[in-house]
Structure 1
Amino acid sequence: MFHNSSPLVVGGLFFIKKRKIMQIFPESVTKLWNEWELRVMVIFSLIFQILLILMGKSRKYSAAIWIRIILWIAYLSADWVATVSLGVLSNKSGDLKGHSAEADYVISAFWAPFLLLHLGGPDTITAYSLEDNELWLRHLLGFAVQVGVAFYVFLRAWISSTLNFLAIPIFIAGIIKFGERVWILRYTSSEHFIDSMLPNPDPGPNYARYMEEYSSKKAEGFKISSGTVIAARTEANNSDTTARDDTNTEAFILEKALYFFQIFMLLCVDLILSFHDVLNSQSFFQNISCDEAFKVIEVELGFMYDVFYTKAVVVYSFVYGFLTRFSLCCISLRCISFFSIISAFVAFLITEKQAYSTVDVIITYVLLVGAIVLELYAVFLLLCSDWTLIWLSKHENRVGKFLYRAISLIPLTKKRRWSNTMAQYGLIRFCLKDKPAKRSFIPRGLCIYKLLEKHLYKYSVNVPSELKKLIFELSLEKSKRASNFKAFKELCACRGVQVLKQENGLDQISKEKSKILEESVEVEFDQSILLWHIATDLCYHFDQGENSNSTNGTNRTASKLLSDYMLYLLVMCPFMLPNGIGLIRFRDTCAEAIEFFKERKSISNVKKACTTLLKVSTEIPPSEVKGDRSKSVLFDACRLAKCLQSLVTEEQWENDKKWELISHVWVEMLSYAASQCRWNLHGQQLRRGGELLTHVWLLLAHLGITEQFQISQGYARAKLIVQ
């Protein structure tokens, strides 16, 4: 609620309540507050800007919740404090007698344009969430009102003093920065961003003229027929890997990422790709390594984050392909803003300041220096960005190469582009209340424990390179296996069935086992996740004590990681999965598991719990005994686990073959979830350190496994054939 509240409304409520609250305190306290109120709020406004610019991009590559909390508080407070400060200045102007302005008010009024600068926000964050971009009209109203209030304060303080004239360049810089933010929010709102991504209207060949010519020739007695001519495509294939410069792999990855980013941005507005774009992308991704593929995707998603959450549209307009026509204007406005602040600072240094309070003079210096430092830091971030490195890599001259190498050596350019983590959640661990040690400090008796209970059992691990390789190889195999574009779209609907059909040896097992396996991936998707999660847990802990070779260990570890990750999505991010009753099934399954464990008090850890569950006889299907009132799948999962174990004990499978099957099913389920999740939900996760699911979504799209492309016959037109 407060996230979408307008600072104008909150500021108005502040002034209404303020008068009532101040009546409680003694007159001395009220006088002290009136004297320091504006000073404190202006300093806090600057502090919030520092926090936003320093931490604005941290959430791009960090999943730490404390970063999001600090940014959320700073983002909301920054606008509110600046708005209220302008209101305080406006109220003070009402206390002036006639047209005379006191010296204290004149220097206080000089702070008004700085507040406009703060309302413009830093380059590293314009929107906290995607919804903020949709509220651009509210920010436009705020822009009009706040500029009006600042101008009113400026006029009321006008006495033709030097300080009045120094406020003009800061005023210009503030309007530029504030207006820039509103324009970016408007541009990245869904309605306007779709418009920017649409191609120029194409009326096609002139049908009326064609038919006139056809009728004319026919009337003259000619025998007319119509033929079709396919025009050759003239555009270059920019994804050709033969152009790669192996001496600079990083530059190669950045350039390809920008190229594909400009094409695949269509997916972000639910538009469709041409089949030529998909073919180009496939030819590129099918001929590079797993590491390079995921690096390209990391950079691409980083560009998407920059566009929707920062001022990249303006700041990087010299690189951003379809905005190059704005680049000169954007750079000019930036220069005007920066040099306006510098000129005001230099002039203030040599201005007589004896008439003003020492405290106010110090605060003014802090605001001026703060504004300059923030601008310089923004320039530093610009130089260290991937956008600048791409721009420099395109210049083959010595200066460009030297600057590229110099910037590449700066530590800031080597930072992570996403968190590279995947959250983990275990149903059995949750039922046993076996949470990570670092979170065991919260007593269960507190009310906050119940509110945070779900979150206490979540933890994160780094995404291992072996898991990325498994996902890439299986996705690549599916991409190469598809014979036509219809087959690519059909792959988006696969969530385990294909793996079972293609697995050698499953056609030789009993019909009962085959039925259990097939039904486990044909039921509702959330039910499949729970079934395979519990079954994977049971098999994992059963095999934990066995000596397994490296291949077995890799597939087993990958299965466990994906199993816990998919359950995390089901419990903590159900909106990213297809619609269903996943949370109801999870709660019912947990209730049955807790009841089962309570009856067997000797169960003290996850491994013992898994061993005990596997001992339960499941000869009769649970649904025949329990009915369907409860949505629990606990013992259905036990049946599935026993079926998987029997592949080794009864069907003479190697243990690593069993885990290979399980890991492949999980990868296909992950791919299905990624394909079915809408872009806006993927986009929301970019501000939380990024999700593995989002990287898989874009990888699949690059390999052609997406429903968002059209099949066309290319550039064709009709031609009259006169005989």
Structure 2
Amino acid sequence: MDVSSKMGLVNLSQDIEELWNEWQIRSLMLIGVLLQIILTILGERRKYTVGLGDFLWLAYLSADSVAIFSLGILARSVANSTNPNLIPVFWAPILLVHIGGPGTISAYSMHEVDKLLINHLLQLVTRIGVVGYVLFRLRENAFMLVAIPIFISGMIKYGERIWVFKRNKESNNLSQQPSAKRPCIPFEDLFSFTESSSEVRYLHEARLLFNTSKRLFQSLDLVNFDQRITYELVSQKEAEEAFQLTEIELGLKYDRLYSKVATISWHRFIIRSVTFLSSIFALVSFSIMIKSKSVYSKNDRIISYVLLSGVVCLESYSIIGHLFSDWPMIWLSRWEKTFPYLYRSRCFSLLLSFSGKRKRWSRLMGQHNLISSLSKKPVNKLRKKYFPGNLNIHCRVDADKDLKELIFKQVMDKRTRYERLRYERSKNGPDTSDFPVLLKLLEERGCNSLQSKGCFRELGWSVDDTEFSHSLLTWHIATHVCYIDDSRKNGFANHQNCAMSRSLSNYMLYLLVHCPNMLAMELSGTRYTDTRIHLHRLLFIRNTPKEAENDIPMDKLDALSFPKAQVRAFFYELLQSPSTNILKEIGEQEEEKSALLDGCRLAMSLQSLETQDGWSNDKKWEMISELWVEMLMYAASHSGWKEHADALARGGELLTHVCLLMAHLGLSKQCPPARRDQLDDFLETVVYDV
């Protein structure tokens, strides 16, 4: 290489280095604004949108990292530069605003909520200290008038974030507070909204339920008074109304855990006004001063306008989003007697109407089908390793009105049976405990549905004396095989009970495979994997020459896919009479924990019901749908509340709503039977301090 070429490369590298030094902090500032916009918009949407997890997590981590890295570069540049005024002085406070985060997302997950508060306080002190150092170095800059309001706004926003963590930490220590054994529902609140509009009462009832759920999420027993009130509120509702109440309740819970939105008060109104007016004042001041003092380059002026406008727009978006949340409606409803004209205004009616129609969770159920997944294309190894959560989720279906009615009806039926059993047990004496009765009902996972249809003797083996995951897989396989056979014979696939059975079956398997922690199961994946491998091997052997049967390793066997026609042909042959050869073939290839053989046996038994007197396809699918609801209720009564709180940040789960409904109706281990002397509980509510 000649001398001129070397000199050209040296000059090019110098130009690149100068360009990087010039645009390093500027590009990072713009990236920071973009990340704040993403977090502000998606932070609220993740409450009712699924599939944002990985992207939002990356943006959340990057936002703090970019802001902290930029702050370090600014501090170093100010310390080393001979002319620090080349960098706009108010960029450092803007970074503090970015670190404070938007109002729509203060924490990403429960893991961060549980983080030590002292860590957040130390970070607050050090980052404010760095910004203060930059401002001190540039104290003679004429644009300090722009920097100071932004600095105040940044400290407030960061302080809000710390306050949210402190609030949640105190909520997590509810059991240590003196009022832990007192009712959560203020006595006067029960009658303060009896004459209000239906929309206002609806929000008020949801807030009462939210107050009691604080104890539930801390795994504390409900107080008898609270338990009776929640039962009266929920039991008198229709199914859609009851689920709407839990939706609002969980929306309030999400806001308290993962955002800066909280109960409206005058001091929060003042704080929000200060941050908004500070950002407006900074933007206006910069616009006026830049006309008379063009000390910055054109690029820096444009970037400064973008940064300041971004702060104003994001603050405005946060305020508007807060105003349209449920909290302002609850706050305004307290002023009904003071400002009665407010309730007759068109504006308030529109706000209430909008609030009632808002989505607060995705209203979707994840679907995973073991048999249908055999026909999917093999998954890339890297994707399987690093993105396992999205594998084989075929789709998400709506939790529609019919399904909610079915669930609510069965929950209420279980409560009715509980009352009847309690009454029968009370005949043995007033000191007889009712708690064993409740525990026995909560352990049901299909036996009541089988008994009510007179099938427990023939099919009870599938739900009793076996692990829940095995029972779940057995009924999942049987449900899909019955669907395959019925859709071929008489086109029964679109029947209501059939559709609900399939959606619940696929949803329960989705929870088993992708959210096992919500089902509180150990080694749940082993039984599923063995069943999947078992079915793969059978299909491989039936469609492969004998000399190649043993030539494929286990990992490749699991990655195989089969045409839908081959899969259906296998089960068609199973259901043909006689089918002993297929069952023998399945038994010969039996895996240790596979549920395939039991699932096929159960499917054949279910299909044979049609040959009996009094049985029809409709009755069969009615029984299957009721059994799946029992499975769902069993899972709800055995799941942990921390996992439900985590699920709120992923769009929510139907299982969480069922869990709350059962708890509010007294069907939970956290709902001990009421004492006989109810008068003492009633009098306590009058004197306790709220």
Matched, 1:250 2:194: no
Who is 1:292 aligned against? 241
Question: For 1:56, what is the secondary structure of its paired residue?
Answer: helix
Name the TM-score, length of structure 2 as normaliser: 0.84
Who is 1:177 aligned against? 157
Tell me which amino acid in the other structure corresponds to 1:137.
I
User: In the TM superposition, what is the alpha-carbon distance from 1:537 to its structure 2 partner?
Assistant: 1.0
Tell me which amino acid in the other structure corresponds to 1:364.
S
Residue 153 of structure 1 is aligned with which of 129, 134, 140? 134
For 2:602 and 2:492, the matched residues in 1 are separated by 24
Contact 1:383 1:407 in 2 (8 A): no
Residue 85 of structure 2 is aligned with which of 103, 125, 141? 103
User: In the TM superposition, what is the alpha-carbon distance from 1:103 to its structure 2 partner?
Assistant: 2.7
User: In the TM superposition, what is the alpha-carbon distance from 1:703 to its structure 2 partner?
Assistant: 1.2
Question: For 1:122, what is the secondary structure of its paired residue?
Answer: coil
User: In the TM superposition, what is the alpha-carbon distance from 1:46 to its structure 2 partner?
Assistant: 1.1
Contact 2:78 2:84 in 1 (8 A): no
Matched, 1:390 2:324: no
For 1:51 and 1:242, the matched residues in 2 are separated by 39
Tell me which amino acid in the other structure corresponds to 1:379.
I
Matched, 1:530 2:473: yes
Residue 592 of structure 2 is aligned with which of 627, 630, 646? 630
For 2:131 and 2:148, the matched residues in 1 are separated by 11
Contact 1:123 1:310 in 2 (8 A): yes
Question: Which runs of structure 2 are paired with 1:604-683 in the superposition (5 Å)?
Answer: 604=565, 606-615=567-576, 617=579, 630-650=592-612, 652-683=614-645
Who is 1:478 aligned against? 414
Question: For 2:47, what is the secondary structure of its paired residue?
Answer: helix
Question: Which runs of structure 2 are paired with 1:326-345 in the superposition (5 Å)?
Answer: 327-345=265-283
Who is 1:124 aligned against? 104
Matched, 1:458 2:400: no
Change (3 A) 1:346 1:32: same
Contact 1:495 1:668 in 2 (8 A): yes
Who is 2:222 aligned against? 273
Contact 1:496 1:668 in 2 (8 A): yes
Change (3 A) 1:37 1:445: closer
State how many pairs are aligned.
Answer: 629
Change (3 A) 1:72 1:683: same
Residue by residue, what CA displacement relative to the aligned partner does 1:601-646 show, whole Å, maximum 9, x if unpaired?
A: 4972554343223347459998996698621121111111122222
For 2:77 and 2:481, the matched residues in 1 are separated by 70
Tell me which amino acid in the other structure corresponds to 1:174.
G
For 1:573 and 1:594, the matched residues in 2 are separated by 23
Residue 694 of structure 1 is aligned with which of 637, 647, 656? 656
For 2:446 and 2:107, the matched residues in 1 are separated by 38
Who is 1:405 aligned against? 349
Residue by residue, what CA displacement relative to the aligned partner does 1:390-444 show, whole Å, maximum 9, x if unpaired?
A: 333444312244232233466x87332211111111111122x2x3xxxx6xx76
Residue 26 of structure 1 is aligned with which of 3, 8, 13? 13
Change (3 A) 1:301 1:281: same
Change (3 A) 1:347 1:625: closer
Tell me which amino acid in the other structure corresponds to 1:553.
H
Contact 1:517 1:640 in 2 (8 A): no
Tell me which amino acid in the other structure corresponds to 2:124.
F
- Where in structure 1 are there 5+ consecutive unaligned residues? 1-22, 205-232, 319-326, 508-513, 718-723
Contact 2:492 2:498 in 1 (8 A): no
Residue by residue, what CA displacement relative to the aligned partner does 1:224-274 show, whole Å, maximum 9, x if unpaired?
A: xxxxxxxxx9974866899476xx543332221111111122111112211
Residue by residue, what CA displacement relative to the aligned partner does 1:664-701 show, whole Å, maximum 9, x if unpaired?
A: 11111100111111011111111111111111111111
Who is 1:492 aligned against? 442
Contact 2:501 2:624 in 1 (8 A): yes
Question: Which runs of structure 2 are paired with 1:122-271 in the superposition (5 Å)?
Answer: 122-135=102-115, 136-159=117-140, 161-189=141-169, 192-195=170-173, 200=178, 236=187, 243=194, 248-271=197-220
| Stretch of structure 1 that moved more, 492-501 or 529-538 | 492-501
Contact 2:39 2:59 in 1 (8 A): yes
Root-mean-square deviation (CA), in Å?
3.3
Tell me which amino acid in the other structure corresponds to 1:692.
L
Tell me which amino acid in the other structure corresponds to 1:703.
L
User: In the TM superposition, what is the alpha-carbon distance from 1:549 to its structure 2 partner?
Assistant: 8.3
Who is 2:551 aligned against? none
Residue by residue, what CA displacement relative to the aligned partner does 1:132-183 show, whole Å, maximum 9, x if unpaired?
A: 1122433322211111111111111122x43124322211111111111122
Tell me which amino acid in the other structure corresponds to 2:122.
L
For 1:387 and 1:430, the matched residues in 2 are separated by 43
Change (3 A) 1:444 1:306: closer
Tell me which amino acid in the other structure corresponds to 1:638.
C
Residue by residue, what CA displacement relative to the aligned partner does 1:641-674 show, whole Å, maximum 9, x if unpaired?
A: 1222222214542222222221111111100111
Tell me which amino acid in the other structure corresponds to 2:239.
C
Who is 1:561 aligned against? 503
Change (3 A) 1:53 1:642: same
Contact 1:500 1:518 in 2 (8 A): no
For 1:349 and 1:385, the matched residues in 2 are separated by 33
Residue 73 of structure 1 is aligned with which of 51, 58, 63? 58
Question: For 1:461, what is the secondary structure of its paired residue?
Answer: strand
Tell me which amino acid in the other structure corresponds to 1:39.
R
Contact 2:447 2:460 in 1 (8 A): no
Residue 587 of structure 1 is aligned with which of 497, 513, 529? 529
Tell me which amino acid in the other structure corresponds to 2:279.
I
Residue by residue, what CA displacement relative to the aligned partner does 1:438-476 show, whole Å, maximum 9, x if unpaired?
A: xx6xx7677546766871453211122111110000101
Tell me which amino acid in the other structure corresponds to 1:421.
L
Matched, 1:360 2:300: yes
For 2:595 and 2:181, the matched residues in 1 are separated by 56
Who is 1:224 aligned against? none
Who is 2:73 aligned against? 88
For 1:372 and 1:197, the matched residues in 2 are separated by 41
Question: For 2:365, what is the secondary structure of its paired residue?
Answer: strand
Contact 2:453 2:623 in 1 (8 A): no
| Stretch of structure 1 that moved more, 170-179 or 443-452 | 443-452
Who is 1:221 aligned against? none
Residue by residue, what CA displacement relative to the aligned partner does 1:257-292 show, whole Å, maximum 9, x if unpaired?
A: 111111122111112211221121112222111110
Question: For 1:405, what is the secondary structure of its paired residue?
Answer: helix
Change (3 A) 1:530 1:241: farther
For 2:586 and 2:608, the matched residues in 1 are separated by 22
Question: For 2:635, what is the secondary structure of its paired residue?
Answer: helix
Change (3 A) 1:624 1:41: closer
For 1:706 and 1:633, the matched residues in 2 are separated by 30
Contact 1:542 1:607 in 2 (8 A): no
For 2:584 and 2:401, the matched residues in 1 are separated by 39
Change (3 A) 1:549 1:38: closer
| Stretch of structure 1 that moved more, 338-347 or 366-375 | 338-347
Change (3 A) 1:660 1:444: closer
Change (3 A) 1:137 1:608: farther
User: In the TM superposition, what is the alpha-carbon distance from 1:516 to its structure 2 partner?
Assistant: 4.3
For 2:263 and 2:362, the matched residues in 1 are separated by 27
Who is 2:263 aligned against? 317
Residue by residue, what CA displacement relative to the aligned partner does 1:109-144 show, whole Å, maximum 9, x if unpaired?
A: 321111101111111001111111122433322211
Who is 1:505 aligned against? 454
